[in-house]
Amino acid sequence: MTVLPSVELTVYAYDCDAFGHLNHATALALLERARWDSLARGPGSDLFHRNGVMPVVRKANVEYRAAVFPGDVLRVELTVPDRGTTSWTVRHVVTRASDSVPVFEADVVLVCVDRTGRPTPLPDELTALLGPRTSGAHATRRVTVEGGSAELTVDVRGDGLPVLFVHGFPFDRTMWRHQVAALTRYRRIAPDLCGVGDSRGAGDEYSMGRYADDLAALLDSLDVRRAVICGLSMGGYIAFELVRRHPERVRALMLCDTRASPDADGARRRRDELAALAGREGPGAVGEQLIPNLLGAATRAERPEILEQCLAMSRRYSVPGMAGALRAMRDRPDSTPDLPKIGVPTLVMVGAEDPTSPPAVMEAMAKAIPRARYVVIPGAGHVSPLEQPLASSRTMADFLDGLPPA
């Protein structure tokens, strides 16, 4: 439990009636004053403004214990008993400063929202103030896929239309944390692929087909018949494979920073070189070579923490998982002939500064898919959902909200 700076407030005539009764709205207003005053004593009352977010009250439980009168000074003790990805609870214990008589207690659940009013992950500066996320705020499961040769770790959040997030290379499921937090009207499913992060490997059997079959088995284990498939980069290659091998499981597609064409000869040789590097020096060495060149210029210059987060993801690969992913990408089929056959709603989203799947390539792919929606995310490179999370999440939400009934 995190303790916030305590504050003292003076009760004015308009805060209560002549009998010392606080109505609910007035009590909540007093508590809001307390929270802002407490914030001013810590990192500053402009903390939310400078991070481009705002707190909104989702729920409040108030228990009244004693009367207050104009002129009373109230001492408010604030603690944070619970913190999630986008929300947190503040417990207020209010006493009269003159005699320490308890006046009321309240638990208030607040949600962090962006400028459009959509929930968004707490900024790092706020999480540093509120303390670590409490257990139970995030549902993580381990699922053994059919055949028992791989065990996938998956984050599952919420209810509604299922959205399966398939990470790219060399990343893991945490690259989707902003979208998992923001798309609250949907059931968000974000696994680590086999051999990645917290998932157990698949021996030597790595291919786009194997990844797709694992994800179909994962959906079975979660009792999901159809899902929106959202894939970035290698995740897009896997999404194409799901369309080919398991078309009945695909409700819609969100293709991010990916391409339909296979590797050219030079790219295939580079995959082999990187696989050998992973074997000699470990997965982190591959990430150090690849990732700085994948991010947009603005990200590299202004948000160095994104680079470190991506490098950390690459270090969470096993050596077989990284080498297997590289060889699976090397040998992936050409999905270009399949584009005109895609019969589900499709969003094609690309970072304006993506060097490996540039906008021109993505736009051509979108034009080949019937009625696909094409969106460019400014200020992002190859990892647009992580580099520009607000714009990416808003684009995805608009697409999902516009899907026709199943």
pLDDT of residue 195: 92
Q: Has domain 2-130 been given CATH number 3.10.129.10?
A: yes
Residues 362-381: what's their mean pLDDT? 97
Residues 26-35: what's their mean pLDDT? 92
Q: Residue 344 gets which letter from DSSP?
A: S
Residues 384-389: what's their mean pLDDT? 94
Is-cis flag, bond preceding 292, omega within 30?
no
Residues 212-228: what's their mean pLDDT? 94
pLDDT tens-digit readout, 299-312:
999 888 899 999 99
Residues 133-162: what's their mean pLDDT? 76
Buried b or exposed e, range 7-23, using 16+ CB within 10 angstroms:
bebebeeebbeeeeebe
CB 297 within 8 A of CB 261: no
pTM: 0.71
Bridge-based pairing state of the strands 187-191 and 162-166: parallel
pLDDT of residue 14: 86
CATH of domain 140-401: 3.40.50.1820
Residues 331-350: what's their mean pLDDT? 97
Q: DSSP secondary structure string, 9-23?
A: EEPPGGGS-TT-PPP
pLDDT tens-digit readout, 237-261:
999 999 999 999 999 999 999 999 9
**In the chain, what are the domain boundaries?**
2-130, 140-401
Q: Is the pLDDT of residue 139 over 80?
A: no
